[in-house]
């Protein structure tokens, strides 16, 4: 039963990720014209596009960046991926695939040629011809769109977090002692739902704060170093568990945490207590989340950030759902706790490796 649930969960995640990737691919196939309201050079380009009927001939999307925050973030994100330095960013600017054209005269002189070349690459199958076109494109460092990969990786770190497992096991044991398997299932699902809602809302609030405050490249590097520190601390727990800073719920908090969990006797209580328990989990689950939120505030638009936050938190609560269903089917919570204890160091090892990779990727500028 557990294997079947895991397979279905992985299939769900796979389909969800593919859908997001398809949407991303469609976005990357567009031609963007970035402009600013009131910019005289932009007006020249807009007039040229209208008189030449280029909006009808090519898949051009106009994006005004002076007053539209999402468009400005998209503008910054695309140019960062293409390796365009800050001092060479302005409007009017056209992005055609990986080709960047800046300034009204350059756009008017080169747009049709570059747009035709870009659209031709969509139907060319010959690898040599494709390579030829790539060599003619904008000379920029190779960058990878690893944001979704990072979101999934960090959410897995949180999903296998030892303290999150421990909290759910205590809850399921308590409900089973006071009721039956069906009530335990409903309570487990209610608890997972409240954790999802709580973490999503906290993440959305922090994302908005970071977005409105603005993130400099220096601060983004700090996020990368934070990921590396978290990775090293998890590796420390793998090698010397319990020594120094422990990447779990602080020992002094645990008695109160257990009292709260033991007070739950029904699904309504489990749902309500989930919001309180989310605060207890913050010390051992907030690290990867903050890294991801800093990454999203720096790299993607608000709409995409919300989608990524949903993906993150769905994966985060997935083990809670799986354990709840498994207990309902007869799996003993005590056995789950035994497995957790045996795999405790391994979970820290996995978390440490993923966080180190994320930190290196961020500092290396690949996101």
**Structure confidence by residue, pLDDT tens digits, 151-206:** 888 788 777 766 666 676 776 676 666 556 788 788 888 888 998 999 899 888 88
pLDDT tens digits, residue range 50-84? 999 898 888 888 999 998 888 888 898 889 878 88
Mean pLDDT confidence for 261-271: 78
Taking each helix axis from N to C end, the angle separating 267-299 and 181-213, rounded to the nearest 10 degrees, works out to 30
Please choose, from the candidates 257, 254, 274, the residue with its C-alpha nearest in 3D space to the C-alpha of residue 324: 274
Which pTM was predicted? 0.57
Burial of 353 (0-12, 13-18, 19+ CB in 10 A): middle
Q: 321, 185, 191: which is closest to 269 by C-alpha?
A: 191
Handedness of CA 253, 257, 258, 263 (dihedral sign): positive
The encoded tokens of residue 23 equal 């949407």
Given 3-state DSSP classes, what are the helix, strand and coil percentages for the chain, each rounded to the nearest 5? 75, 5, 20
Domain 29-136, CATH 3.40.30.10 — does that match? yes
* Annotated domain spans of the chain: 29-136, 144-363
Mean pLDDT for all residues in the chain? 75
Q: What's the pLDDT score for residue 278?
A: 77
The Cα–Cα gap between 277 and 86 comes to 43
Read off the pLDDT band of 32 (50, 70, 90).
very high
Structure tokens at 341: 């204890």
């Amino acid at each position: 039963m557990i294997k079947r649930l895991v397979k279905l969960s992985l299939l769900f995640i796979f389909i969800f990720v593919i859908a997001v990737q398809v949407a991303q691919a469609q976005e990357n196939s567009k031609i963007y014209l970035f402009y600013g309201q009131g910019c005289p050079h932009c007006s020249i380009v807009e007039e040229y596009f209208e008189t030449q009927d280029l909006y009808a001939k090519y898949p051009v999307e106009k994006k005004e960046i002076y007053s539209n925050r999402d468009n400005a973030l998209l503008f910054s994100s695309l140019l960062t991926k293409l390796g365009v330095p800050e001092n060479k960013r302005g409007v009017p600017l056209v992005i055609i695939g990986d080709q960047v054209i800046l300034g009204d005269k350059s756009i008017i002189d080169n747009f049709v040629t570059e747009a035709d070349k870009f659209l031709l690459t969509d139907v060319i199958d010959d690898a040599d011809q494709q390579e030829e076109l790539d060599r003619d494109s904008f000379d920029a460092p190779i960058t990878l769109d690893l944001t979704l990969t990072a979101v999934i990786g960090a959410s897995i770190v949180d999903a296998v977090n030892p303290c999150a497992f421990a909290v759910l096991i205590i809850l399921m044991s308590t409900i089973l002692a006071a009721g039956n398997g069906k009530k335990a299932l409903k309570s487990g699902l209610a608890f997972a739902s409240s954790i999802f809602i709580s973490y999503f809302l906290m993440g959305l609030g922090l994302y908005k704060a970071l977005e409105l405050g603005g993130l400099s490249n220096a601060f983004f590097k700090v996020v990368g170093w934070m990921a590396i520190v978290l990775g090293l601390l998890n590796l420390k727990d793998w090698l010397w568990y319990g020594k120094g800073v422990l990447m779990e719920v602080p020992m002094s908090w645990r008695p109160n945490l257990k009292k709260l969990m033991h007070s739950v006797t029904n699904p309504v209580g489990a749902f309500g207590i989930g919001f309180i328990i989310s605060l207890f989990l913050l010390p051992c689950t907030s690290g990867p989340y903050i890294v991801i939120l800093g990454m999203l505030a720096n790299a993607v638009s608000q709409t995409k950030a919300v989608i990524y936050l949903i993906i993150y938190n769905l994966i985060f609560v997935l083990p809670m759902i799986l354990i709840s269903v498994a207990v309902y089917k007869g799996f003993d919570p005590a056995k789950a706790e035994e497995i957790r204890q045996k795999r405790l160091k391994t979970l820290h090892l996995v978390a440490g490796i993923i966080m180190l990779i994320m930190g290196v990727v961020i500092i290396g500028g690949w996101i």
